[in-house]
Amino acid sequence: MSGFGRVRRAALLSTVKRAAIGAARPIAEPLAAIVLALLVGAVLIVLFSGLVARHSAFDLGLPVAAYAALLEGAVSPNGMTATLVYATPLILAGLGVAIGFKAGLFNIGGRGQFLMGAVGALAVATVVGQTQSSYITIPLALLVGALCGAAAGFVPGALKATSGAHEVVTTIMLNYVLVFVTYWAISGPLALPGSPQPISVDVATRNAALPIILGRDGHLGILVALVAVPLVWFLLYRTTLGFEIRAAGANSDAARYGGMRTNRLIVLTMSLAGLLAGLGGATTILGVVHQVAPGYDTTVGFDAITVALLARSNPIGVMFSGLLLGAMRAGAQTMQIQAGVPPELVDALQAIILVLLVVNVLRRWLDGRSRQHGSTPSAAADTAMLADATA
Amino acid sequence: MSGIPQALDAIPVLGILFQLLGYLVANIEFMSHTTVAVAIPITLAALCGVMCERSGVVNIGLEGIMLTAAFVGWIAGVVAVGILGPGTQLPVFGITVPLLIALVAALLAGMLVSLLHAWLAISLRVDQIISGTIINIGAAGITGYVYSLMASKSAVGAGSFTTYRVPSGVADFPIVGWLINAVLSQGPIGIITILVVIVLQIMLFRSRWGLRTRAVGEHPRAAETVGIDVIRLRYRNVVMSGALAALGGAWLSMEQTNKFDTNMTAGRGFIGLAAMIVGRWTPLGAFGAALLFASATALSTSLQISPPQGDLGALMGRVPGEFWEALPYIITIVILAGLIGRSIAPAADGQPYERESAT
């Protein structure tokens, strides 16, 4: 047990050290990245609306109008609800990516896991919903959706544990496979009987629509996401499993030396990440989308990476960054209607935020390195750094 | 010709295999041509990966480099056509001036994105997986944004390169004529790719540059001791390799089609990465692996265009079309998982290098 204790103390020490380095700028850095990204985004808006769209020759007021519309779409009374609705899958999938980062795993499979959650929920609505009341259908649909998502996370986890295939490549490849599985499911076994076009059943007609708890379309899923945040925090910081996940992420060799079964941890973490993203897919289908046509897709997978990186993988931070990105997605529609700026701007903004964050992370790392002279952290330690919470 | 094979086809269970064999032989010409064509962007991505990883830099941003190049090439074509007009076509490959400008713009764009990756990975020593992922997300976001601005304009690009027509004397050559025809009736980017595979294979294992590149990827400290500038060589290789992935992107928007589409790379960068691993970080091996992956696509295309008859057709008809579309990705996962243990990466792959004097 002494070996284990040493590992624990070393992990604790390094956590404390990193926390001390990062404590000065835990919120300032993401905020600075967001503000800078908005500025660069403003340049993009002016430049491309002048060069490409040509409806206005370099209108300097356009970014102001666009951002004002974005804000209005995100925080007006109806916009607030929309923000929460958009944030729900982002928070859930973002928690999944964050847990992965904590374990030193990079889960890009959010898209496929989300879609599997959607398919699982639709399957329950299709099969069970006609005969059972919503008290049975809804919990069952959420559960099956979450489990289907977990299965989609399990596969790359198991491949990594058994063969060492990198999860970044396998999750992306699996995303494409699962997109086709989703099309097949919706146009085949889950299709609405007798419909001329392939389309799924409407969950509202199958006692499976989530109850509205807020405004016009604020569904129960919002509550699910907000409850998941403290649960994941508790799991990561107050349970043995959470400690093992963080230890494996900080130094997998040390964790193995300390007696942890790291391969089992990889599979478990990826499954858990898939479970959360799958729950995001299930709540979105049961709460907002209700009926799905082939071609249905999601940007949640990539958005969740931004959410987790912005939050430095801290579950509480994920809630805030999820709300922020949800607000951007919610406001994007208003921005398009009022200012004529396409909603894809949000994707561009995200990319800029990410670049700025990564460059900033480096500055933080350099600051820390000058204090502890001479050590050369490996790439893995760098990832852990990036994923490290300041909590 | 028909007596014996038909008798074989009638054998239960095993007959299906003979029918499949017969189908493959009947469609071999179409399938081999499609296989080579589909393999081209995958090969170019894989070659970019080989050059980067042989010098010790993991480049997972291949997808983003290709997408950016495809987009910039297309948009440069739109601008060039707007200024110069469509231009006259040369008899070879249908080359026009705007098309050449577009190709150069695509290559430069790819090298610029590679430079960003090199700066993040080599100078800033950011985790290279994260740096590459950011390039992928960024390329999708920014090209998607600008493209959606263009979408209402119905812009016309510079068109596309035409394929080389193999002289009928060669194409009709007995036994191997059809194969030469299948391989060589490609556009200029396709033919360049095949040449680059051979040149890079020789360069990497027979030239001074190749030896230095491999040294930097296996043991950078030792390479520096004998006077190789590790940082500079890594920069140079990553930036140059960007042109290869960019060529793959240009193939998508200027040879396969004549337009851009959001996320038109559709995972080819990642399949290229897998081809690199399966090909054990060698250009020839990567090309072979790309052909293997591409043959799955070729088979599914062939099955859709000319569905087989008889029992085989009935069997195939029960397999949903989505399965065939997902097949290349499934094969990538399976081969990757099956082979990765036996395929050994360069020793210093993905490790940032710090000069001895710097610490």
For chain A, the average pLDDT equals: 83
- In angstroms, the CA A141 to CA A124 distance is 5
- In angstroms, the CA B245 to CA B41 distance is 8
Residue B24 has pLDDT above 60, yes or no: yes
| B98/A contact by beta carbon, under 8 A | no
| A352/B contact by beta carbon, under 8 A | yes
pLDDT in tens, B167-225: 777 667 777 777 777 777 788 888 899 999 999 999 999 999 999 999 999 888 888 88
pLDDT at residue A27, rounded to an integer: 73
Searching chain A, which residue's CA lies closest to the CA of residue B268?
A173
Taking alpha carbons only, the member of B307, B333, B334 closest to residue B321 is B307
Reported as half-sphere exposure (CB side, CA atoms, 13 A), residue A13 has a value of 6
SS (H, E, C) B158-215: CCCCCCCCCCHHHHCCCCCHHHHHHHHCCCHHHHHHHHHHHHHHHHHHHCHHHHHHHH
Q: Do B148 and A174 touch (CB under 8 A)?
A: no
The stretch B285-306 carries a mean pLDDT of 86
Q: Do A173 and B273 touch (CB under 8 A)?
A: no
Q: What is the DSSP track for A31-73?
A: HHHHHHHHHHHHHHHHHHIIIII-SSSS-TTHHHHHHHHHHHH
Greater model confidence, A93 or A29: A93
Q: Which of A165, A176, A306 sits opposite B326 (nearest CB)?
A: A176
Greater model confidence, A46 or B65: B65
pLDDT in tens, B87-110: 777 777 777 788 888 899 999 999
Report yes or no: B273 and B329 within 8 Å, Cβ to Cβ: no
Helix (H, G, I), strand (E, B) or coil at A217: coil
- List the 332-351 stretch of B: residues with Cβ below 8 A of A: 332-333, 336-338, 340-341, 350-351
Q: Which of A156-165, A356-365, B298-307 has the lowest mean pLDDT?
A: A356-365
Searching chain B, which residue's CA lies closest to the CA of residue A378?
B351
- List the 55-84 stretch of B: residues with Cβ below 8 A of A: 60
- In angstroms, the CA A258 to CA B310 distance is 61
Greater model confidence, B258 or B43: B43
| B359/A contact by beta carbon, under 8 A | yes
Report yes or no: B53 and B128 within 8 Å, Cβ to Cβ: no
Determine the distance in angstroms separating the CA of A132 from the nearest CA of chain B, rounded to an integer: 31
Q: Which of B134, B144, B341 sits opposite A344 (nearest CB)?
A: B144
Residue B266 has pLDDT above 90, yes or no: no
A219 strand-pairing partners: A212
Residue B358 has pLDDT above 60, yes or no: no
**Which domains does chain A possess?**
26-387 (1.10.3470)
State the DSSP code for B258.
S
Residue given tokens 């666009």 in the structure block: A66
Reported as a pLDDT band with limits 50, 70 and 90, residue A11 is low
- List the 101-120 stretch of B: residues with Cβ below 8 A of A: 120
Greater model confidence, A193 or B231: B231
pLDDT at residue B1, rounded to an integer: 41
Greater model confidence, A24 or A86: A86
- In angstroms, the CA B231 to CA A381 distance is 21
Report yes or no: B255 and B99 within 8 Å, Cβ to Cβ: no
The stretch B285-309 carries a mean pLDDT of 84
pLDDT at residue A386, rounded to an integer: 45
Set of chain A residues whose Cβ sits within 8 Å of the Cβ of B266: 176
The stretch B219-241 carries a mean pLDDT of 90
Residue B82 has pLDDT above 90, yes or no: no
Set of chain A residues whose Cβ sits within 8 Å of the Cβ of B139: 351
Taking alpha carbons only, the member of A245, A291, A293 closest to residue A265 is A245
Residue B312 has pLDDT above 90, yes or no: no
pLDDT at residue A372, rounded to an integer: 44
State the DSSP code for B319.
S
- List the 45-74 stretch of A: residues with Cβ below 8 A of B: 48-49, 52-53
Neighbours of B2 (CB within 10 A): 7
Residue A104 zone, left/alpha/beta (φ > 0; ψ -120 to 50; rest): left
Interface test with B, best of A169, A175, A179 (most B CBs within 10 A): A169
- List the 267-296 stretch of A: residues with Cβ below 8 A of B: none
Reported as half-sphere exposure (CB side, CA atoms, 13 A), residue A326 has a value of 26
pLDDT at residue B8, rounded to an integer: 65
Q: Which range, A214-223, A318-327, B125-134, is most confident?
A: A318-327
Q: Name A276's Cβ contacts closer than 8 Å, sequence gap at least 6.
A: A92, A93, A95, A96, A99, A146, A149, A228, A232
The stretch A274-301 carries a mean pLDDT of 92
In CATH, which of 2.60.40, 1.20.1300, 1.10.3470, 1.10.12 is domain B27-306+317-343?
A: 1.10.3470
Residue given tokens 């696509």 in the structure block: B297
- In angstroms, the CA B116 to CA B134 distance is 11
| A375/B contact by beta carbon, under 8 A | no
Interface TM-score (ipTM) > 0.85: no
